[in-house]
Amino acid sequence: MIDNRTPVDRAVLVSAPAGRVSQRLSREHLEELARLTHTAGGEVVAVVRQRIEAPNPRFFIGEGKARELRSTVRSVDADLVIFDEELSPAQGKNLEDLVGVRVMDRPELILDIFATRARTREAKLQVELAQLEYLLPRLRRMWSHLSRIRGGIGLRGPGETQLETDRRLIGTRITDLRKKLREVARARAVQRQGREGEFRAALVGYTNAGKSSLLQGLSGSDLFVEDRLFATLDSATRMVDLGSGYQALVTDTVGFIRKLPHDLIASFRSTLEEVREADVVLHVIDASDPDWEEHRKVVNQVLEELDLEKRPQLLVFNKTDRITHEEEDALRTRMQALDPTPAVWVSALEPDSLVKVREALKARQRAGLRELVISVPAADGETLATLHREGEVLSQRGNGATLEMEVRLPRALAGRLEQKEGIRVQEGV
């Protein structure tokens, strides 16, 4: 009987932290690399470790350790080596020549996972662009091992469709992808203009922090949720009822991770523009993860890289159902010592706890409203409909052909009404 199952790559992981990285942190990085390998469909069969002062220009690790790596690969019959650090094109080629199997680094592994997770046209364009920009300086090494190996981790998406291309063709494709993504970015900008006046929130967080679960719990929409790294890449926007007539448009964004490839950040910039336009950023943190502090720093670093670190934030500690009350109290105390940013503690699986998020968003929305007294001609149905749709009408009384209304309005709408003829706007008393 013929076995048609996809072969599993047998991978040797290499951890070579440079400088003063603690043993605990290097161990956690390695565990995450193993999870990434599993997510990509590989099996970890061995681990090689070395602490280095600085990367070796030829092999990244020392030459003796590189020969040890070759022996390990042969003894466990591995067909793939994955480094937790980024390798230069020369280091990757030298290592492959030495060990005799494919060698990839953490950025390439993440890019491969993204290639299998992308669903929408925009996400596929973004991932393909990032992969090709990563691939371009590594063509010589890629052609040598692609000629003898079919498929597998790191060879999917454009890594599979562009095998016969040369630098010129890849460069042309990169130019074409950038053009298409600019068109997508313009379309997104038009969509955002159509949502002007709506209160908007954006979810950011480390991968697998539970952003999609949180959006699903808040909106009641059926979203794809899976307990694994990068389960979803495609951004989703849902309307969330906050109660008392308030609503918010909440957008999920791609999850972050340590050492997220720079090409990938650049490619997903248009998607992350949703964060720039948001009235508040909901930074979702997995309260049950012992590495939550480092994950929080990683997310803040990426936001800083995108010039988004000054956006108003609300920290949402998710998955509190996985920790005890004592552990939650300790985390609260620790967080208060670290950062004065407002925080709520919830579980996306417990609907009652999500009231805290809704109340926090409602408070942010109210803080951005102006309390006004507006006199509107009773015949101006368009303005009256806008006030009821986009604002909060507190009271209303007729005065002949005019309606006098006490309202709470978004500042942008209030500014437009102040410029409209026939309407009188006064600050509320």
- Residues 255-268 have pLDDT tens digits of 888 887 777 777 67
Give the residue with greater pLDDT, 6 vs 360: 360
The answer as to whether 188 is a domain residue is no
- Confidence class for position 346, pLDDT limits 50, 70, 90: very high
Q: Residue 378 belongs to a domain with what CATH number?
A: 3.30.70.240
pLDDT above 60 for 429: no
- My answer on whether 104 and 117 are in the same domain is no
Q: What is the pLDDT of residues 13-30, one digit of tens each?
A: 999 988 777 888 888 889
pLDDT above 80 for 206: yes
Write out the residue range of the structural domain in which residue 384 sits.
368-427
Q: What is the mean pLDDT of the chain?
A: 83
Q: Residue 68 belongs to a domain with what CATH number?
A: 3.40.50.11060
- My answer on whether 168 and 220 are in the same domain is no
Helix, strand, coil shares of the chain as percentages rounded to 5? 45, 20, 30
Q: Residue by residue, what is the 3-state secondary structure of 293-305?
A: HHHHHHHHHHHHH
- Confidence class for position 149, pLDDT limits 50, 70, 90: very low
Question: Distance between CA atoms of 48 and 412, rounded to whole angstroms?
Answer: 58
8 Å CB contact between 272 and 252: no
User: Mean pLDDT across the stretch 272-295?
Assistant: 89
pLDDT above 50 for 2: no
The answer as to whether 21 is a domain residue is yes
- Confidence class for position 7, pLDDT limits 50, 70, 90: low
- My answer on whether 135 and 14 are in the same domain is no
Q: What is the pLDDT of residue 339?
A: 83
Give the residue with greater pLDDT, 272 vs 200: 200
Report the number of secondary-structure helices (H) and strands (E) in the chain: 16, 14
- My answer on whether 201 and 291 are in the same domain is yes
Question: Distance between CA atoms of 321 and 330, rounded to whole angstroms?
Answer: 15
The one-letter amino acid code at 243 reads G
What pTM, to 2 d.p., does this model score? 0.77
- Confidence class for position 144, pLDDT limits 50, 70, 90: very low
8 Å CB contact between 14 and 48: yes
- My answer on whether 87 and 155 are in the same domain is no
Cross-strand pairs, 239: 249
Element (H, E) at 247: strand 246-252
User: Mean pLDDT across the stretch 168-189?
Assistant: 84
Give the residue with greater pLDDT, 253 vs 225: 253
Burial tier of 118 (Cβ tally within 10 Å: 0-12, 13-18, 19+): buried
Cross-strand pairs, 103: 81
Which among 225, 335, 242 has a CA at the least distance from the CA of 283? 335
- My answer on whether 343 and 409 are in the same domain is no
Classified as helix, coil or strand, 29 is helix
pLDDT above 70 for 275: yes
Q: What is the pLDDT of residue 225?
A: 52
- My answer on whether 257 and 126 are in the same domain is no
Q: Token digits for 44?
A: 């970890």
Residue in the structure block whose two tokens are 């800083």: 304
Least confident piece of the model among 58-67, 103-112, 191-200, 409-418: 191-200
Q: Residue 313 belongs to a domain with what CATH number?
A: 3.40.50.300
Q: What is the pLDDT of residues 383-404, one digit of tens each?
A: 888 888 777 888 888 878 899 8
- My answer on whether 330 and 404 are in the same domain is no
Residue in the structure block whose two tokens are 């308030």: 246
- My answer on whether 235 and 361 are in the same domain is yes
